[in-house]
């Protein structure tokens, strides 16, 4: 379990470095999907499978809107990739910063602190994610509905902005 969690966290940091160092929206959106997936994998490892699934689906829906908007506004015929020299220099700089921070915080890091939520309480009736789902729909239900409405509205705004003069995504067939 510790190796899988280490792999999730390593890919998460690698994806964050890839997002921060890439000016092209195509590759940055791909790296953001990697970051979202790995973050939800960390949540699953700590005992929240349903909440991480909901988070991943909502985040990927929002990323679809952001990717459509950024790809339409920054359409490049030859975007820079991760293997170009300037992007590689940025990536190496960010990796050095991450390694420096890891070196500073290494003394307080223990592998045995990775205990899932379900192993902390032996006589619990409910799982940790079941309680989280109830709290997400009770006081957070209004915010969930508002967030879904805002994502839908943003999708239509992006489609209208990228429509152009007479042709686009919402044209009459």
Intra-chain end-to-end CA distance of the chain, in Å: 53
**Distance separating alpha carbons of residues 103 and 89, to the nearest angstrom:** 21
Phi, psi of 77, rounded to the nearest 5 degrees: -70, -35
CATH of 2-161, one of 2.60.40, 1.20.120, 1.10.1220, 1.10.357: 1.20.120
Q: How confident is the model at residue 173 (pLDDT cuts 50, 70, 90)?
A: very low
**Distance separating alpha carbons of residues 29 and 79, to the nearest angstrom:** 13
Sign of CA dihedral 141, 142, 147, 153: positive
Mean pLDDT across the chain: 77
Would you say 65 and 77 are in contact if contact means Cβ atoms under 8 Å apart? no
Would you say 59 and 108 are in contact if contact means Cβ atoms under 8 Å apart? no
Overall average pLDDT of the 62-86 stretch? 74
At 111-121, the pLDDT tens digits run 556 666 556 55
Of residues 51, 74, 47, the one with CA closest to residue 128: 47
Would you say 29 and 114 are in contact if contact means Cβ atoms under 8 Å apart? no
Cα 28 to chain centroid distance, Å, stands at: 11
Sign of CA dihedral 30, 41, 128, 109: negative
At 1-45, the pLDDT tens digits run 778 888 998 999 998 998 888 777 777 778 888 898 998 898 888
**Distance separating alpha carbons of residues 11 and 13, to the nearest angstrom:** 5
Phi, psi of 118, rounded to the nearest 5 degrees: -70, -20
């Amino acid at each position: 379990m510790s190796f899988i969690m280490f792999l999730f966290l390593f890919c998460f940091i690698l994806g964050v470095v890839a997002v921060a160092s890439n000016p092209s929206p195509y590759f940055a959106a791909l790296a953001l999907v990697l970051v979202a997936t790995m973050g939800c994998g960390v949540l699953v490892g700590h005992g929240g499978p349903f909440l991480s699934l909901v988070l991943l689906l909502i985040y990927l829906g929002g990323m679809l809107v952001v990717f459509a908007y950024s790809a339409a506004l920054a359409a490049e015929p030859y975007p820079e990739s991760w293997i170009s020299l300037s992007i590689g220099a940025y990536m190496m700089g960010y990796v050095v910063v991450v390694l420096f921070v890891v070196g500073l915080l290494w003394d307080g890091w223990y592998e045995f602190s990775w205990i899932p939520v379900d192993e902390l309480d032996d006589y619990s009736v409910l799982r940790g994610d079941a309680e989280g789902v109830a709290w997400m729909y009770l006081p957070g239900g209004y915010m969930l509905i508002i967030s879904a409405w805002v994502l839908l509205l943003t999708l239509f705004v992006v489609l209208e902005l990228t429509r152009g003069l007479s042709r686009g995504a919402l044209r009459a067939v």
